[in-house]
Structure 1
């Protein structure tokens, strides 16, 4: 875990939080942030595709993808049951959608941590990232609508259509396919883009993320302490469940750590964008504030190192 905290990209995240708390005027311009988001999605997809081209799809890859689909359905159910103890059906459903879905940035940080510690992982986990993104959001919305008649505004067909059009998973999956098709030749050609530049771009993106997190701390004021506890307990429970499932399926240390990281991460980009239209009465302070201000920093500073250490011990 110490290695994770001393990673330059993570330290830039801490710098961003500090600057935000000091109310500094430091900020990465939004057009640059948008460009960095596109860059990270492309680079992660390409790297996953190149790795997948080397390893191929075998029984281990099928097991990893099966486990990711199970976790995509199981985590929102766990989150809904836990949050329902302290909040309404509507809010619990929205939180289940956010906590069941995944964070691309947390995944990227986890892959960097594994590479830094010479732990190998397969390109299959980039496919798992795509698989796990939307099912939880749709399941969380269904759970919320079950108990709240006012949440019926957006038809399912419209939601599915918007999900299919969302640029983030489309770019990620498209880049992965390009990396898979081009293989070693593509890896050599794209190395300066997807390799040499990657760490610096991630550090710059995490600097802005730190600033954003500091601004979200205000959303936590006045919330039940139990909500704050669950924002940390649910990711740990999800990671432990993923570790158990992945160990039973014989996943390697790298894939096991990434499955746990994905299961423990929470979406603060894709899920909130969908929830804003699907559940307009749900509180963004909960489904956006908790993942961004608590869960994301916890995973980045502590969780990733913890999951990787446990995975190495189990595999």
Structure 2
């Protein structure tokens, strides 16, 4: 692996702010980002990346690579929760296994945004259609996770799940709706119209990302100590499974996709885990699943790994194969 690439990533100001948040928690500091501000920044990041993706897509020709990308994204979102469920059942209940499987089959928009910033730092091009791929990978995993829970629950009448409600909730989830809507608006806007809001969509993006990762660091630091008391299986799963998914996709994606940046984003999507859309859906569909298990796995373990060591690792594999 290129050590300069790893060092560049680890010294990225946005990432260092993430570590600052974790350190603040360990020092018992009262540093915090107001919840309303945190929500606004997350909405801004999704809006910005969706709009810029739509602009990129508008200047791209619809070809087989884009179609294969969309298909591959959906296939990944369907397969990952199935195979991870059976691994998780060795240690966890049906409900927790299904919820964690859905978490790792779905994707993290914040990890995706951080990966886009990483590509921009390395001056590597990527296609705007990858934003659409990310949005399409949210819902299928949630549905598969709920179906697995419903199928393997012994008392199905008592534990029945309203799949129509879950499907609707996964599609109308705020993060999914905003990024899809921004993608469409960016696609429809002319280049001149896009330049009119460029200072908002582009110029201040990295500053907001740094503040948001600071907030993520504070949140991760608070959840980490409690999670570590739950044993090593969940901790190892939260690192090993993303590595397997990311590395496999980094290699296999070369069969369908040519662009270095697009293959990298696919690897990141495969390796990431949702801690926004899935918890919201699981709270509605499977209240018996333990959120203090699957949220810290995704947020406190998988997310930091992917944005520190994971991104240089996946890029190295893609460049090698």
Instruction: Report the TM-score, using the length of structure 2 for normalisation.
Output: 0.94
CA deviation map 1:221-279 (0-9, x unaligned): 33231221111111011112322331111331100000010110000011001111211
Matching of residues 111-126 of structure 1 within 5 Å = 111-126=116-131
d(CA) in 2 for partners of 1:308 and 1:286? 30
Give the secondary-structure state (helix, strand or coil) at the position aligned to 1:288.
helix
Structure 2 unaligned spans of 5+: 1-5
d(CA) in 1 for partners of 2:319 and 2:113? 19
**8 Å CA contact retained: 1:51, 1:122:** yes
More deviation, 126-135/232-241: 232-241
Query: Are 1:27 and 2:32 counterparts?
Result: yes
d(CA) in 2 for partners of 1:277 and 1:59? 38
d(CA) in 1 for partners of 2:34 and 2:15? 20
Please, what is the CA RMSD of the aligned residues?
1.4
Query: Are 1:210 and 2:183 counterparts?
Result: no
Partner of residue 90 from structure 2, selected from 67, 85, 93:
85
Query: Are 1:243 and 2:237 counterparts?
Result: no
**8 Å CA contact retained: 2:108, 2:275:** yes
CA deviation map 1:132-171 (0-9, x unaligned): 0110011011112222236735411111222232221111
Instruction: Indicate the residue corresponding to 2:3 in structure 1.
Output: none
d(CA) in 1 for partners of 2:126 and 2:54? 12
d(CA) in 2 for partners of 1:80 and 1:201? 36
CA deviation map 1:79-136 (0-9, x unaligned): 2122122222221111001111110010000011011101110001100110101100
**8 Å CA contact retained: 2:241, 2:271:** yes
Matching of residues 1-315 of structure 1 within 5 Å = 1-148=6-153, 149=155, 152-314=159-321
Alignment coverage as a number of residue pairs = 314
Give the secondary-structure state (helix, strand or coil) at the position aligned to 2:137.
helix
CA deviation map 1:279-310 (0-9, x unaligned): 11111122112111111111111112221222
Give the secondary-structure state (helix, strand or coil) at the position aligned to 1:199.
helix
d(CA) in 2 for partners of 1:218 and 1:121? 37
d(CA) in 2 for partners of 1:306 and 1:186? 38
d(CA) in 2 for partners of 1:305 and 1:244? 14
User: Structure 1 276/219 Cα, relative in aligned 2: closer, same or farther at 3 Å?
Assistant: farther
Structure 1 unaligned spans of 5+: none
Give the secondary-structure state (helix, strand or coil) at the position aligned to 2:59.
helix
Instruction: Report the TM-score, using the length of structure 1 for normalisation.
Output: 0.96
**8 Å CA contact retained: 1:69, 1:132:** yes
Give the secondary-structure state (helix, strand or coil) at the position aligned to 1:86.
coil
